[in-house]
């Protein structure tokens, strides 16, 4: 194995990208790509959502401070407008807050479920949310040579949970499935428009998602599918998987992220046509055996960030070893984090010895 000298990554950026692509394609590389995020998540808070210069400055400082960290991260910029951006484009009232991505109010409730059939997809021209997003993408590209991530892309079901009152929607899946499907059809079309709009304005794309790991365009689209944890396998197939499959058909594949314990729906999730990978929060998944059938069939981005564990996070090297011992190295990515940059520099070298070439 190549060693790390003075915190220098022993392989080039081109070699990193090659290993990442080969891992997505389930090739045996002997290496497990890993990314170390530093600090708490960087949200689209009130301080950043409407201030493009502040957003750029945050990234410039972050990249300066993370120099010397040995991992598979490459400098890039997250446009950082939040998971609710598409729902806001539908007309959901948006409110920025100081400690999270923007919140949106709903447009549909079970008291007026007919509103679901009246929803129309946002027009690409003249929509203020889309215009704001395009303005941010243009600013970042004019002021920096760094590649851009996508703005967070929610699954159609997650966007539906913002447009339709969340609790009401869970009831509506059982009582008013026709109205739910009508809304999901429109949201799926709008999601395709939303991603294509971004791709049309991003000149140098870093990843087909909003997180710091690289998902090459030819692999497909990463979506946040966090409502999965509330669904039965049958409900997932009917209201989530079928619409995620439509995104996979358009974008050449789909990688599904879901926070929480997905153990009971993973079998249904894995049936999604065009599914190229799963991104799972390992400390929250209590039954790893339910994940095991994915090994060798699709890539696994296995996440364990320090805040995922609760107040007493285990040693990240030991936890990573546990994950790799269970799932192997082929087609596997590790997504982890530290509270400080110094901790990340130390962790990066330790993980290279564990996950680097064999």
What sign for the dihedral angle of Cα 345, 346, 349, 354?
Answer: negative
Question: For residue 133, what pLDDT is reported?
Answer: 98
pLDDT band for 15, please (50, 70, 90 cuts). very high
What are 188-217's pLDDT values in tens digits? 999 999 999 999 999 999 999 999 999 999
pLDDT band for 6, please (50, 70, 90 cuts). low
**Residue 6 resides in a domain:** no
**Residue 295 resides in a domain:** yes
* Residue 108, strand partner residues: 164
As separate numbers, helices (DSSP H) first and strands (DSSP E) second, the chain gives 14, 8
Radius of gyration of the chain (CA): 20
Instruction: Give the sheet arrangement for strand 332-338, strand by strand.
Output: 34-38, 332-338, 299-304, 275-281, 254-258, 221-224
* Residue 192 burial (CB count, 10 A): 18
CA neighbor of 324 nearest in space, from 71, 37, 34, 35? 34
pLDDT band for 5, please (50, 70, 90 cuts). low
What are 310-338's pLDDT values in tens digits? 888 899 999 999 999 999 999 999 999 99
**Residue 317 resides in a domain:** yes
Please state the three-class secondary structure of 170-235 as a single string.
Answer: HHHHHHCHHHHHHHHHHHHHHHHHHHHHHHHHCCCECCCCCCCCCCCCCCCEEEECHHHHHCCHHH
What are 214-257's pLDDT values in tens digits? 999 999 999 999 999 999 999 999 999 999 999 999 999 999 99
CA neighbor of 163 nearest in space, from 99, 116, 216? 116
Residues 267 and 22: their CA atoms lie apart, in Å, by 25
What are 296-315's pLDDT values in tens digits? 999 999 999 999 998 888 99
Cβ neighbours for 186, distance < 8 A, ≥ 6 positions apart: 119, 120, 121
What are 161-177's pLDDT values in tens digits? 999 999 999 999 999 99
| pLDDT of residue 4 exceeding 80 | no
Mean pLDDT of 131-148: 98
Between the CA atoms of 7, 41, 156 and 213, what dihedral angle is there, to the nearest 10 degrees?
0
| pLDDT of residue 142 exceeding 70 | yes
Question: For residue 266, what pLDDT is reported?
Answer: 97
Residues 205 and 279: their CA atoms lie apart, in Å, by 20
| Cβ contact 78:149 at 8 Å | yes
Q: Which domain holds residue 192?
A: 13-355
| Cβ contact 226:94 at 8 Å | no
**Residue 34 resides in a domain:** yes
Mean pLDDT of 77-100: 97
| pLDDT of residue 2 exceeding 60 | no
Residues 338 and 330: their CA atoms lie apart, in Å, by 25
Question: For residue 258, what pLDDT is reported?
Answer: 96
Q: How many domains does the chain have?
A: 1
What are 36-63's pLDDT values in tens digits? 999 999 999 999 999 999 999 999 999 9
Three-state DSSP class for 276?
strand
Residues 204 and 238: their CA atoms lie apart, in Å, by 36
**Residue 1 resides in a domain:** no
**Residue 2 resides in a domain:** no
The upper half-sphere exposure of residue 238, i.e. CA atoms within 13 Å in the direction of its Cβ, equals: 13
| Cβ contact 294:268 at 8 Å | no
Residues 109 and 113: their CA atoms lie apart, in Å, by 6
Residues 317 and 195: their CA atoms lie apart, in Å, by 36
Residues 192 and 82: their CA atoms lie apart, in Å, by 17
* Residue 133 burial (CB count, 10 A): 22
Residues 198 and 73: their CA atoms lie apart, in Å, by 22
Mean pLDDT of 106-130: 97
CATH number for the domain spanning 103: value is: 3.20.20.210
pTM value > 0.85: yes
Question: For residue 8, what pLDDT is reported?
Answer: 73
Looking at the chain, the whole-number percentage of residues with pLDDT higher than 70 is 98
Mean pLDDT of 79-89: 97
Looking at the chain, the whole-number percentage of residues with pLDDT higher than 90 is 96
| Cβ contact 38:66 at 8 Å | yes
**Residue 82 resides in a domain:** yes
The per-residue pLDDT of the chain, averaged, comes to 96
């Amino acid at each position: 194995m190549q060693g790390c000298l003075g915190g220098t990554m022993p392989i080039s950026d081109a070699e990193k990208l090659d290993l990442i692509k080969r891992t997505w394609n389930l090739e045996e590389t002997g290496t497990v790509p890993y990314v170390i995020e530093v600090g708490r998540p960087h949200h689209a808070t009130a301080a950043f959502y409407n201030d493009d210069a502040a957003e750029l400055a945050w990234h410039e400082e972050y990249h300066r401070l993370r120099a010397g960290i040995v991992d598979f991260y490459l400098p890039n910029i997250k446009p950082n407008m939040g998971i609710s951006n598409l729902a806001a484009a539908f007309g959901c009232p948006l409110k920025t807050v100081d400690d999270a991505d923007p919140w949106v109010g709903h447009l549909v409730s079970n008291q007026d479920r007919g509103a679901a059939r009246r929803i129309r997809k946002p027009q690409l021209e003249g929509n203020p949310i889309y215009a704001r997003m395009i303005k941010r993408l243009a600013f970042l590209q004019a002021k920096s040579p760094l590649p851009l991530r996508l703005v967070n892309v929610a699954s159609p079901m997650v966007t539906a949970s913002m447009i339709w009152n969340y609790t009401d929607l869970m009831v509506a899946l059982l009582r008013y499935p026709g109205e739910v499907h009508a809304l999901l059809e429109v949201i799926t079309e709008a999601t395709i428009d939303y991603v294509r709009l971004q791709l049309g304005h991003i000149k140098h794309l870093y990843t087909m998602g909003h997180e710091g790991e690289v998902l090459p365009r030819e692999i497909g689209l990463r979506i946040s599918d966090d409502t999965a944890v509330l669904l039965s396998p049958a409900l997932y197939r009917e209201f989530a998987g079928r619409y995620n499959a439509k995104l996979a058909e358009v974008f050449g594949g789909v990688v599904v992220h879901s926070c929480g314990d997905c153990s009971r729906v993973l079998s249904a999730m894995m049936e999604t046509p065009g599914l190229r990978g799963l991104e799972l929060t390992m400390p929250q998944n209590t039954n790893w055996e339910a994940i095991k059938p994915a090994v060798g069939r699709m890539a696994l981005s296995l996440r364990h960030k320090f805040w995922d564990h609760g107040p007493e996070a285990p040693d990240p090297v030991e936890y990573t070893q546990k994950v790799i011992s269970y799932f192997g190295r082929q087609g596997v990515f590790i997504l982890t984090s530290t509270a400080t940059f110094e901790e990340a520099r130390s962790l990066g070298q330790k993980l290279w010895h564990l996950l680097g070439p064999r």
